[in-house]
Amino acid sequence: MRIGLLGTGNVARAVATGWSAAGHDVVLGSRNPKERGEVEELKGFTVVGLGEAAVHGEVLVNATPGTASMDVLKEIGAAALAGKVLVDIGVGFTFTDSMELSHPNYSLSEEIQKAYPETPVVKTLATVDRFVMVDPASLVGPSTIFLSGEDDAAKRTTKGLLGDLGWPDASQLDLGGIGTARGQEHFALLFSGIAEAIGSYEFGIRVVPQRAS
């Protein structure tokens, strides 16, 4: 599958490496592809312009900071995004000392879906760090990863891509519509607290149902 990553940061590089290893044709999109392509950490990756990444990808993945994502998508344009599955990993924080969410009463994914109704959005991978995203087997036990979105076909495609990163079907939990993406993004506040408490960002969470009576 052809995948266009929007972004060239740590998260984008991590998932790009994972999906490339699984046999997908992956490019990374940047506003300044020539400049970014010369960065040492990006050697070995194909870095193109944002528009080129959108054209390339059957699936697009938003791995940009949540505060920049809408500007990036606007630059690409609705026409280029239409009909593409957009997997949204982004979470936005305001630039304050208290680390507040940029979308405190809704989610970035909801904002994207509202702005681009012809582009099915699926929220996932927002509740784990970049290392766990691509290596869930590194955890001491099974963990849960979440999906939110309105389009069933887009979710099936996303489930397959999660499987290629090592997330088995049993670990994937469909939360429902795009409104449930709020929970995924807002978990970032608890995520930060857990990370500070245990001294590591490399952990997962698991949904444990009550034992059947």
CATH of the domain at 92: 3.40.50.720
Nearest to 6 by CA among 77, 69, 67: 69
Nearest to 120 by CA among 184, 185, 58, 183: 58
Nearest to 13 by CA among 25, 28, 23, 34: 28
**Rounded distance between C-alpha atoms, residue 23 and residue 209, angstroms:** 35
Asked, for residue 207, whether it belongs to a domain, the answer is: no
Asked, for residue 209, whether it belongs to a domain, the answer is: no
Asked, for residue 179, whether it belongs to a domain, the answer is: yes
pTM score, whole prediction: 0.94
Q: In the prediction, which pLDDT does 39 show?
A: 84
Asked, for residue 203, whether it belongs to a domain, the answer is: no
Task: For 94-138, write each residue's pLDDT tens digit.
Answer: 866 667 888 889 999 999 999 999 999 999 999 999 999 999 999
Domain span including residue 134 = 2-198
**Rounded distance between C-alpha atoms, residue 163 and residue 102, angstroms:** 30
Task: For 21-74, write each residue's pLDDT tens digit.
Answer: 999 999 999 998 888 877 888 989 999 999 999 999 999 999 999 999 999 999
Asked, for residue 104, whether it belongs to a domain, the answer is: yes
**Rounded distance between C-alpha atoms, residue 59 and residue 84, angstroms:** 6
Asked, for residue 208, whether it belongs to a domain, the answer is: no
Q: Is residue 170 predicted with pLDDT exceeding 90?
A: yes
pLDDT (average), residues 153-165: 98
Average pLDDT, the chain: 95
User: How crowded is the C-beta side of 165, counted as CA atoms within 13 Å?
Assistant: 26
Q: In the prediction, which pLDDT does 97 show?
A: 63
Count of domains forming the chain? 1
Give percent of the chain above pLDDT 70: 98
**Rounded distance between C-alpha atoms, residue 26 and residue 56, angstroms:** 9
Give percent of the chain above pLDDT 90: 87
The neighbour count for residue 190, using CB atoms within 10 Å, is 11
Q: Is residue 196 predicted with pLDDT exceeding 80?
A: yes
Q: Which alpha helices (H) appear in the chain, and where do they start and end?
A: 10-21, 33-37, 50-56, 69-76, 78-81, 108-115, 130-134, 152-164, 181-198
Asked, for residue 211, whether it belongs to a domain, the answer is: no
Asked, for residue 118, whether it belongs to a domain, the answer is: yes
